[in-house]
Amino acid sequence: MKIVILGYGKMGHEVEQIALQRGHEVAYRIDTEEDWNKNKAEISKCDVVIEFSTPATAISNIGKCFDINIPIVVGTTGWYLHLDEIRKRCEHENQTLFYAPNFSIGMNFVFKLNKEMAKFAQKYDYQLGITETHHIHKLDKPSGTAVKLAEDIIKNNGNYDKWMLKENIDCPSCSDNMLKVSAIREGEIFGIHEITALSECDEITLKHEAFSRKGFATGAVIAAEFIQNKKGIFTMEDLLR
């Protein structure tokens, strides 16, 4: 494949290394509006864009790719409030989008375990909580991964009907049906997600820790391979299925 990397920061560099290792060509590395405008005609002839930018620019980047009919893999999180409008445009214009709150294969296995633990917790009266820890440069809070974990718990456990950042809750016991999410930003941590289930008798902890960006980059390149010759919106669940 001829790949365009949109957002050539630390993740962009990691994606480049994985793409080259898997035998692909990195045709363009786009980091500014000027880069995009200068190369737009040639970018449209490439096979796929892999995007790791910021929540503020992700929507615009998706739109740019739709405008020139090039499939896009989006690794940025924090833009999902706009997902419905992006979905409608993607379907209406017959475009291709792959997005995921987390591209790590291991984390996607934890997503499956989290759903089962949510059901178990309701049946046996365990209280659930989520804590995520990332590097100080991460802009969205909580992480997209933590949001997915929380939403999956709510879908699979009738004791919870909403989630909230712990720091935004006025009183610790405001609502028993509120799932508390803690978000910590410190150092250069690549990503730790913990789901705890607490009862009067014991505690269960489900934890995933990323040791580097390599797992995220590998998943993104595999996603780019997966959507070749496909139309529509796809996630890691589609890929792993």
Q: Is 207 annotated in the active site?
A: no
Write out pLDDT tens, residues 111-166: 999 999 999 999 999 999 999 999 999 988 999 999 999 999 999 999 999 999 98
Q: What local confidence, expressed as pLDDT, does residue 158 receive?
A: 97
Distance in angstroms (rounded) separating the CA atoms of residues 20 and 136? 29
Q: From the CB of residue 204, how many other CB atoms can be counted at a distance below 10 Å?
A: 14
Q: Positive or negative, the Cα torsion across 158, 161, 166, 171? A: negative
Instruction: List, run by run, the mean pLDDT of 10-residue segments along the chain (241 residues).
Output: 96 97 98 95 97 94 97 95 96 98 94 97 98 93 95 98 84 74 95 97 97 95 98 96 87
Total-model pTM: 0.85
Q: Is 134 annotated in the active site?
A: yes
Beta-strand pair 192-198/127-134: antiparallel
Q: Write out the DSSP string of 111-170.
A: HHHHHHHHHHHHHTT-EEEEEEEE-TT--SSS-HHHHHHHHHHHHH-TT-SEEEEGGG-S
The single residue listed with the structure tokens 């390149």 is 221
Helix (H) or strand (E) holding 91: helix 83-92
Task: Give the residue from 142, 125, 145, 151 showing the smallest Cα distance to 208.
Answer: 145
Distance in angstroms (rounded) separating the CA atoms of residues 180 and 128? 8
Active-site residue, selected from the candidate residues 64, 88, 119, 134: 134
Yes or no: domain 105-209 corresponds to CATH 3.30.360.10 = yes
Q: Write out the DSSP string of 202-233.
A: -EEEEEEE-SSSHHHHHHHHHHHHHTTT--EE
Domain with CATH 3.30.360.10 in the chain: 105-209
Q: What local confidence, expressed as pLDDT, does residue 174 receive?
A: 60
Domain with CATH 3.40.50.720 in the chain: 2-103+214-240
What token pair was written down for 18? 């994985």
Active-site residue, selected from the candidate residues 24, 138, 148, 193: 138
Fold of 2-103+214-240: Rossmann fold (3.40.50)
Report whether 130 contacts 195 (CB < 8 A): yes
